[in-house]
Amino acid sequence: MSAHDPVRLALIGAGNRGADVYAGWCLDHPDEGGVVAVADPDPVRRRSVGDRHGIADERRHDDWRTLIDDLADVDGVIVATPDRSHVEPAEAVLAADRDLLLEKPIAATAEGVRRVAAAADASAATVTVAHVLRYTPFFATVKRLLDEGAIGRLAGIQHTENIGFWHFAHSYVRGPWRRAGTASPMILAKASHDFDILRWLAGTRCETVACSGALTHFRSGHRPEGAPDYCLDGCPAADDCPFHAGRLYLDELADRDGWPMNHLTDDRSPGARAAAVARGPFGRCVYACDNDVADHYSAVLGFAGGVSATLTVSAFTRDTTRTLKLMGSRGELRGHLDAGEIELRRFLPRTEGPAGPDDTGVHHTDVISVEALDAGAADDVLGLRIGHAGGDAGLMADFVRRLRRRQAGLSVEAALTDLDESLESHFMALAAEQARLRETVVHLDRPITDETTAITTPRSTT
Ligand SMILES: NC(=O)c1ccc[n+]([C@@H]2O[C@H](COP(=O)([O-])OP(=O)(O)OC[C@H]3O[C@@H](n4cnc5c(N)ncnc54)[C@H](O)[C@@H]3O)[C@@H](O)[C@H]2O)c1
């Protein structure tokens, strides 16, 4: 194989992330990488990705265990199974010494995270955790500006993960991440990215975590009078409910083919969509689901060296993006991920260059626009930008670049989001869940255990 042949990838878990995002990247970049083997127990998903990538029949596995015996010519493996099914395939891929791209969360439990870490320690292969935000031009620029001293000494961070009301209802009330026991606590599932970014920007380890939050809204007590179990069964509150399944899936997303419609049905014909909304899990009244994950959190984090941060993760937002403000000794930086906009407000007057519109003479402001990678390909679902502001593409490009180096016999450096970098964010998220449930401050100098994250006492809610 020449150094310029596409790298050969195997895919475990051919759902939205595996098939659409990562394998999809290969279809857009056929000279860079190709998928040569797949494992997924779902025959429709297996056939779909197999046909799109021309995968030989004998390399379409219904079990990841048989795929592990089929890695002879494979350069790297992507594990994109559901949250509770990451650990065992990840261990097996690492035991086979194949470079691994592992979806977050690494695992849903502290024990699982430690098992993957042990497997990585014993392996010659690298792990790239899919903390895609670090690969966005936006966060890369924020980090660079901080490292260059643009705002002086960092003292505080305010970071918000605006999940978006409809996105939350889709994923965390009706969808696969609605129960902590079958997926993971919402703060780990949704915000391991954000903890990772906070840790990266703070530049030191997190020492303490306090957290408040609850499942306040998506509960039976808020069910409108007379609302049926399924929205389409003549709900009297249909016009007044922001979460009505018919409006969302059959009107607003009527022309949508990819995520999130792929969660509803593999058959995207109008009849199949209507049937899925009429009687499927995504057609349920949001006040009559079996969800138990919190719908909002606020965490306060203390880092070594004195940086403090707040993280708000909320269902109750119109936008679906991250916003943040960094506060330093010489200025502040405000950013909006999906707008690709960074505003630097410095505490000193400008000494060179033309004055900006907001310059007052006692401070000056720069506005920096950051183009998302592959912005042309980024598509938009009700204001939610698909592709994580270029992070999905950035992650794959970097993974493939490092595989190419190995293929060429060159040294392979650790990923920007390798396991060592990523473990802490998971322990921070698990600590936040523990702090919330116990109404206490958790100190990260003591190991996080699963006993302490398994408490299920909810805060009082109405
Ligand atoms: N990095 C990110 O920003 C990001 C975003 C969304 C989801 N995720 C994570 O990615 C993972 C996959 O999410 P998704 O949205 O693609 O889910 P999905 O349900 O669309 O896909 C999961 C696929 O895994 C398959 N599968 C289930 N058990 C399997 C097994 N034992 N072996 C092989 N395949 C198996 C399923 O049939 C399905 O096709 C989850 O852990 C999720 O939390 C990460």
- The 10s digit of each residue's pLDDT in 104-146 is 999 999 999 999 999 999 999 999 999 999 999 999 999 999 9
Ligand 1: residue of 11, 16, 35 to mutate (most ligand atoms within 8 A of CB) is 16
CA angle at residue 432 from 428 to 438, to 5 degrees? 140
pLDDT score for 361: 63
Whose CA is closest to atom 25 on ligand 1? 13
Instruction: Tell me how far the alpha carbon of residue 333 lies from the centroid of ligand 1, in angstroms.
Output: 35
Q: Alpha-carbon distance 190 to 225, whole Å? A: 32
Whose CA is closest to atom 6 on ligand 1? 17
| Mean pLDDT computed over every residue of the chain | 93
Of 25, 47, 42, whose CA–CA distance to 34 is shortest?
25
pLDDT score for 384: 78
Residue 172 pLDDT class (50, 70, 90 cuts): very high
pLDDT score for 2: 46
Is the pLDDT score of 210 beyond 90? yes
Instruction: Tell me how far the alpha carbon of residue 258 lies from the centroid of ligand 1, in angstroms.
Output: 15
For 249-298, write each residue's pLDDT tens digit: 999 999 998 899 989 998 889 999 999 999 999 999 999 999 999 999 99
Instruction: Tell me how far the alpha carbon of residue 355 lies from the centroid of ligand 1, in angstroms.
Output: 49
For 73-94, write each residue's pLDDT tens digit: 999 999 999 999 999 999 999 9
Instruction: Tell me how far the alpha carbon of residue 80 lies from the centroid of ligand 1, in angstroms.
Output: 5
Q: Alpha-carbon distance 167 to 253, whole Å? A: 12
pLDDT score for 307: 98
Task: Kindly give the number of the ligand 1 atom that is closest to the alpha carbon of 176.
Answer: 19
Q: Alpha-carbon distance 411 to 262, whole Å? A: 39
For 337-349, write each residue's pLDDT tens digit: 988 999 999 988 7
Q: Which two tokens stand for residue 60?
A: 């379409």
pLDDT score for 462: 52
Whose CA is closest to atom 20 on ligand 1? 15
Ligand 1: residue of 40, 49, 174, 193 to mutate (most ligand atoms within 8 A of CB) is 40
Q: Alpha-carbon distance 260 to 242, whole Å? A: 17
pLDDT score for 370: 83
